[in-house]
């Protein structure tokens, strides 16, 4: 099917009905969704979401437990030491600072709390400090704990699990064919190895990435299919916010239709898991965010993001309720 040919709506309905009935979309069919009528695609994705997903919105919050000075050269990232971005830099935060934010988020009804660190991997005393915080958040709040600590090995991931974390976050970031053009200090295969080790350690997998970094529409489909291979329970979908000082500072933004098309295709490929709003969702209008939650987004990082302005928890809760979800 060429870009000038449009997928027949009956074919789209057949794929949707098969997915709702417990079947899966083939790789060829996933690519063909790029040629579907936009509104029909969104409506079909909404039907899948309604049929197979809960109306409970899976909320999480994050704390940037170590910021900046990262030796990796990811072209999108404000925290890389390779770029001059003016990003805040600090070592592992004091434990009480973490607990203050954790208690605040718990009081707001947030379900999950994740500790995130810059750098290739949290090791040694830094990892010990993070594990101490994970234990306290697990013991002293009702929230489930998650961690995003870089490319850890199996032994360190077992420490994270033993500290109480239930989920490990390691983004694939983008399509395997596009990743080498964005980062050369580690590989797609390094990420896969970490994800496999995290699963072996008994951790659930959260893995997604960023759209709008210059990838093609076909590479966004490739990205969705690559994620299916690693079977995450949660996929954060970030929309690039170009950071001045990074190599992607002048990257043209995606249109609202391109963003919503990507979310719809991700729902076809991942029919029943949490597709999570993450950084950059303010690139969508309010109506666009509401439509995104109708067609596939059923989880999200609420409150402020890592190095980009997010929104307040109360504002997020109001929007989530307007979309018809329970918080």
Local confidence band at 9 (pLDDT 50, 70, 90 cut-offs): confident
Task: Give the per-residue pLDDT at 314.
Answer: 87
Beta strands at 274-277 and 58-66: parallel, antiparallel or unpaired: unpaired
With contact defined as beta carbons under 8 Å apart, do 281 and 303 qualify?
no
Tokens of 147: 């961690």
| Phi, psi (rounded to 5 degrees) for 17 | -65, -35
Q: Give dist(CA 53, CA 50) in Å, integer.
A: 6
Q: How far is CA 221 from CA 29, 65, 89, 207, 239, in A?
A: 10, 32, 35, 15, 15
Mean predicted confidence (pLDDT) in 53-64: 96
Local confidence band at 304 (pLDDT 50, 70, 90 cut-offs): low
Local confidence band at 97 (pLDDT 50, 70, 90 cut-offs): very high
Task: Give the per-residue pLDDT at 184.
Answer: 98
Across-strand partners of 147?
Answer: 115, 168
> Higher pLDDT residue, 112 or 302?
112
Which residues 6+ apart lie within 8 Å of 10 measured at CB? none
Which residues 6+ apart lie within 8 Å of 38 measured at CB? 257, 260, 261
Task: Give the per-residue pLDDT at 2.
Answer: 44
Beta strands at 297-301 and 58-66: parallel, antiparallel or unpaired: parallel
Task: Give the per-residue pLDDT at 5.
Answer: 59
Tokens of 154: 């199996």
Task: Give the per-residue pLDDT at 303.
Answer: 75
With contact defined as beta carbons under 8 Å apart, do 211 and 240 qualify?
yes
Tokens of 175: 């399509």
If one counts every other C-beta atom within 10 angstroms of the C-beta of residue 191, the result is 21
**What share of the chain has pLDDT > 90, as a percent?**
92
Q: How far is CA 322 from CA 37, 167, 261, 317, 327, in A?
A: 26, 28, 21, 9, 11
Class of domain 28-322: alpha beta
The chain-wide mean pLDDT, for the chain, equals 95
**DSSP annotation string for 293-313:** HHHTEEEEE-S--SSS----H
Task: Give the per-residue pLDDT at 308.
Answer: 44
Least confident of 214-223, 250-259, 287-296, 307-316: 307-316
The pTM assigned to this predicted structure is 0.95
Please write the tens of the pLDDT for every residue from 141-153.
999 999 999 999 9
Domain ranges of the chain: 28-322
Mean predicted confidence (pLDDT) in 202-217: 98
Q: Is pLDDT of 134 > 90?
A: yes
Local confidence band at 7 (pLDDT 50, 70, 90 cut-offs): confident
Shortest CA distance to 168 belongs to which of 122, 124, 136? 122
């Amino acid at each position: 099917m060429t870009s000038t040919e449009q997928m027949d709506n009956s074919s789209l309905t057949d794929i949707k009905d098969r997915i709702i009935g417990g079947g899966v979309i083939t790789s060829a069919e996933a690519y063909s969704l790029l040629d579907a009528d936009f509104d029909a695609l969104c409506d079909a994705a909404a039907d899948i979401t309604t049929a197979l997903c809960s109306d409970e919105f899976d909320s999480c919050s994050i704390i940037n437990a170590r910021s900046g000075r990262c030796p990796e050269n990811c072209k999108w990232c404000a925290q890389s030491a390779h770029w001059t971005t003016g990003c805040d830099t600090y070592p592992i935060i004091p434990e009480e600072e973490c607990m203050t934010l954790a208690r605040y988020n718990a009081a707001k009804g947030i379900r999950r709390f994740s500790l995130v660190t810059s750098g290739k991997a949290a090791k040694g005393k830094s990892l010990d400090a993070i594990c101490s915080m994970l234990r306290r958040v697990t013991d002293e709040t009702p929230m489930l704990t998650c961690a995003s600590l870089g490319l850890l090995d199996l032994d360190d991931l077992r420490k994270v699990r033993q500290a109480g974390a239930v989920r490990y976050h390691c983004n694939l970031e983008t399509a395997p064919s596009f990743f080498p053009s964005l980062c050369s200090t580690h590989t797609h295969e390094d990420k896969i190895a970490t994800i496999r080790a995290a699963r072996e350690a008994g951790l659930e997998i959260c893995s997604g990435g960023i759209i709008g970094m210059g990838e093609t529409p076909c590479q966004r489909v490739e990205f969705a299919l690559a994620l299916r291979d690693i079977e995450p329970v949660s996929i954060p979908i970030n929309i690039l916010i170009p950071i001045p000082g990074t190599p992607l500072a002048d990257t043209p933004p995606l249109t609202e239709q391109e963003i919503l098309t990507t979310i719809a295709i991700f729902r076809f490929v991942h029919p029943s898991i949490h597709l999570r709003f993450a950084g950059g969702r303010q690139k969508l209008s309010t109506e666009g965010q509401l439509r995104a939650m109708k067609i596939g987004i059923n989880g999200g990082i609420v409150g402020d993001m890592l190095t980009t302005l997010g929104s307040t928890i109360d504002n997020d809760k109001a929007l989530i309720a307007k979309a018809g979800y329970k918080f």
